[in-house]
Amino acid sequence: MIVLDRFKSLFIWVGLFVFTASVYYATAAGTTSSNDGSHYALLRAMIDEQRFEIKTYAEYAEGNDLAIRDEVIYSDRPPGTAISGIPFYVFGRILPKPINTLPSRHDEGNPALAYLVMLPVFAGAGTVVLLYQLLRSYDLSMFASLTAALSFALGTTIWKYGSVFYSHAVSAFLVTLAVYLTLRTVREGHLTKSIGLLLGLVLGLSVLVEYSNAILIVLVVLYLAIRLKQNLLVSWQSLVLAAGGGLIGVGFLMYYNTVNFGGPFTTSYNFAINYPWASSFASTFDVPLTQGLPAMLWYGKDALGEENQGLFLLMPITLVGIIGTWFYVKVQWQEAVLVVGCFLFQLVLFSMHHTFSGFTFDGRYLMPFISLLFVPIGFALDRILLDDNSLRRTLSLFIMYGLVYLSVRNMMAHIAFSYNYHLDPGLVMRRAATPQNWSYILSNIFVNWQNLPLLWGVIAALLIIYVVIVIITQRIQTQP
């Protein structure tokens, strides 16, 4: 029975991963803007020229996402995303060419791009699977867990950023994994050596990917210290391994900052050519919370007059998180403190950001934490199913699926009107539903669908490698 349960769980994990990854990969359009162009420029400089200076590839950053120090041109993005993309790009040079060329904004025709975009695809799909597993660890129903995970996958900006070579999908995976490992550690009552090393590594790499994730380290360490107390001190070897794992990412970032920008704590933002306010914390987070928070949650304008797409307006399904938090706190208030607390801390922080516009400008840095909001949503769904009042249950589900529909619809529009996607509303027929309308709209969103066999082949190969490793490991363990 245990074997069947494990097989069933593995089947769901793989199915959820393949489905989500397929949607994201079909949406990928190569590099789409100066942001992912800047990451890509750094990746190419490291691979082709073995240096951090990006002069040769600076055009990919479109004169925008650049840092210049002593007339030397660097990317102003944290280096973690470019580093993570190296194996994808390198293998992309030797693996089969894509069936169809990606309509990339930069370096179009380079076959390795079809493999490079698998980094955010895998990270985004991995985040969805992690969320599902986290929900199931609370013994929530499969219906509630799957519905919440799929609503997150298709009804939030993880869809968009799981399709482009930005930092946010990789960051979302690391943030969600760090929270999952932290909760697992507290449930076990002590920090094991393997989990300690992995947790430290994940937290360190998260800062290498996005500077603001340094706050996550503080929150996790405080949470573990409070929940485990004396048990944490007993696990001193695990603490040493956790610190060593964290230093891999943080240590490299300090080295990167020193050789490029003059000091271990001097980041690329200190020399960003178009963001002089980003050089200090005070000038970066200078918007009154009374102005930024309503705009991040619903609608408003920042100091530059840019209109905002707030969390609840762009992703209506997240409204359920408000109700779900009540049920979550009633059942697991101590874990809710970490999960909901991390999300709220990031929400408040970026509501004060200089360009706080949600999910278009720097408000998108909230995206890696949105998965945490779907834990309460899972609790809300489970509560709906347990409701003995059939009328109330039906009405609740009707509202729930309406919010899911609106969220998915908004994500499709959000992608279609993004950089390097070319949906023209003037070409949509006035009739509500025609095959021509659907064909035109979907073809301008799923621009990479023809290359899906490439993705499936890579996933199949990885699964075969995993199975072989498991079989070999089991044989070694069973040998006398």
Give the residue from 125, 38, 168 showing the smallest Cα distance to 455. 125
Instruction: Give the Cα separation of 367 and 360 in Å (integer).
Output: 11
The predicted pLDDT at position 66 comes to 93
The predicted pLDDT at position 338 comes to 96
Q: Which residues, 6+ apart, have CB-to-CB distance to 238 below 8 Å?
A: 190, 191, 192, 193, 195, 196, 197
For the residues 153-170, what does the mean pLDDT come to?
95
Q: pTM here? A: 0.94
What is the token pair recorded at 399?
Answer: 């509202």
Minimum mean pLDDT among 3-12, 355-364, 462-471: which range? 355-364
Give the residue from 95, 30, 14, 101 showing the smallest Cα distance to 451. 101
3-state secondary structure 187-241: HHCCCCHHHHHHHHHHHHHHHHHCHHHHHHHHHHHHHHHHHHCHHHHHCHHHHHH
Instruction: Answer yes or no: is pLDDT of 362 > 60.
Output: no
Q: What is the pLDDT of residues 409-440, one digit of tens each?
A: 999 999 998 888 888 787 777 777 788 888 88
Instruction: Give the Cα separation of 459 and 16 in Å (integer).
Output: 13
What is the torsion angle, in degrees rounded to the nearest 10, for the CA atoms of residue 94, residue 466, residue 241 and residue 196?
130
Cα separation values, 352 from 43, 298, 342, 347, 424, Å: 31, 15, 16, 9, 34
What is the token pair recorded at 339?
Answer: 């999960």
Q: Which long-range contacts (CB under 8 A, 24 or more apart) does 463-471 make?
A: 463/14
Domain residue extents for the chain: 127-398
**E strand spans, 295-389:** none
Band of pLDDT at residue 449, cut at 50, 70 and 90? very high
Minimum mean pLDDT among 36-45, 106-115, 155-164, 384-393: which range? 384-393
Band of pLDDT at residue 357, cut at 50, 70 and 90? low
**Cβ contact 74:67 at 8 Å:** yes
Instruction: Give the Cα separation of 211 and 225 in Å (integer).
Output: 23
Band of pLDDT at residue 132, cut at 50, 70 and 90? very high
Q: What is the pLDDT of residues 29-82, one digit of tens each?
A: 999 999 999 999 999 999 999 999 999 999 999 988 899 999 999 999 999 999
* Chain centroid, CA 74 distance in Å: 24
Instruction: Give the Cα separation of 24 and 437 in Å (integer).
Output: 21
**Cβ contact 142:136 at 8 Å:** yes
Alpha helices for 56-192 (secondary structure H): 80-92, 113-116, 118-136, 142-155, 158-161, 168-188
Give me the phi and psi of 332, to 5 degrees please: -140, 65
